[in-house]
Amino acid sequence: MPTGTGEDLTTLVVEGGHRLIGRLEVEGNKNSALPLLAACLLTEERCVLTNVPRINDVQVMVNLLSGLGADVDGVGTTELTVQSKQLLGDEPDRSLVGRLRGSVLLCGPLLARCGSVRLAPPGGDFPARRTLSAHLQALAAMGVRWRRDDANVDYVLEAPDGLLPASVYLEEASVTGTETALLAAVTAPGISEIRHAACEPHVVELCRFLSRMGAEIEGAGTSTIRVAGGNRLSGAEHRLDGDYIEAGSWAVAAVVTGGELEVCGANAGHLEPIVSVLERMRVACEVDDNRLLVLPSSPVGIRQITTSPWPGFPSDMVSLVSVLATQAQGRSLIHDWMYELRLFALEQLSGMGANLFLCDPHRMIVDGPTQLTGRTLDSRDLRSGMALIAATLAANGTSRIQPLETVERGYGQLVDRLIALGARVTVERT
């Protein structure tokens, strides 16, 4: 979030009760863009990424790369060219690191090229909810010594003997932890094995990009990834896969407004865990190739919706499906066992008239349908912020959501797209 950075903050003003109707195309996967941009630091040669999402998180990562000495062309477009001939240091800009959890992905490339890195505490949504334990565990196995600085604030990491191949068992199947291990292992000469690895599509996409750069990787998409590291890595080109979380988010926004929406650009296989839950809730939808069609529906509550690592229902969608449950007939139990606090932001739905009971930091019971009423809301994190926007679209009356920048971290051209689909929204700057 930009809070505390001196930037103006934007309030989204929503007049509820208007259906979303039309067609949109999602851009590249936010969760792929950040590790792929970090991977560009592994080579001095030119890398080209296309279908890059035009979102705030990508802009922050681009600024981090530029601050480290990388030349980045195409900023603000969907095609970025990155070349890192010479790095200027091992300390990413701390103010930017404090805004982006994905900044931790810079550790592997900086350790490989500089032998050290000094990293301020990464920010983003509810930083305390996700620790760096998986990342530090993997790096320590590869010969990295780490400590907190004298003020117990920054992370100071050093690889005095270079990065070493290792056999690593991750205590949790962390996506960014797996990506950190991969970005380090490809430069460590010898065979590394990452077990209990995350299997999400964006991890697979990072493996594909690293392979194009010259890395040897086996087992992408499984819980055991083997890396033959130490090859010279060269520049590469890659088109990012479409963002299936964004596609699912727009689908839910259409359903709760009684709308009809064609969402293009996301892989049908990536959408399957989301569509499976939508179909259980009797949402009328069709999926083929890179197209998701959502038709006007009368959704119903279902006994339990539980998040889990890939290929289960993604935690990034739990806030959106919770809003859908407020408009579904019957009771739903929403269980996000993976992360604490994500559901807390949705307590604001109670003030809109939703009938929900927060059992604990991981579980919420929702009874529907209820008519929501517009009010002022706080977008405390990226995904719950988009969920609250969906709720305001379905509500009677006018709502105000601030700061919009929180949601724009992961949803590009958000206001323009809402307007194009028939929503009545305006923005105010403070």
Q: For the chain, which domains are there?
A: 10-22+298-429 (3.65.10.10), 30-239 (3.65.10.10)
360 noted as active-site residue: no
Q: Are 243 and 27 in contact (CB under 8 A)?
A: yes
Q: Is the pLDDT of residue 128 over 90?
A: no
Q: Does the pLDDT at position 124 exceed 70?
A: no
Considering only CA atoms, which of 328, 262, 315, 321 is closest in space to residue 291?
Answer: 262
pLDDT higher than threshold 50 for residue 4: no
Between CA 268 and CA 331 the distance in angstroms is 29
Using CB atoms within 10 A of its CB, is residue 152 exposed (0-12), middle (13-18) or buried (19+)? exposed
What pLDDT is recorded for position 113?
96
pTM, two decimals, is 0.94
pLDDT at 152 over 90: no
Instruction: Locate 202 and state its tokens.
Output: 């964006």
Does the pLDDT of residue 224 top 90, yes or no? yes
Mean pLDDT of the chain: 94
Q: With a cut of 70, say whether residue 2 has pLDDT above it.
A: no
The pLDDT of residue 7 is 61
Name the pLDDT band for 123 (thresholds 50, 70, 90): confident
CB 258 within 8 A of CB 284: no
Tell me whether residue 70 is exposed, middle or buried, using C-beta atoms within 10 angstroms of its C-beta: 0 to 12, 13 to 18, 19 or more.
buried
* Mean pLDDT value of segment 345-353: 92
**pLDDT at residue 344, as a whole number:** 77
At 228, is the pLDDT very low, low, confident or very high (cuts 50, 70, 90)? very high
| Residue type for position 390 | A
What integer pLDDT is reported at residue 380 of this predicted model?
84
Annotated active-site residue in 57, 90, 125, 241: 125
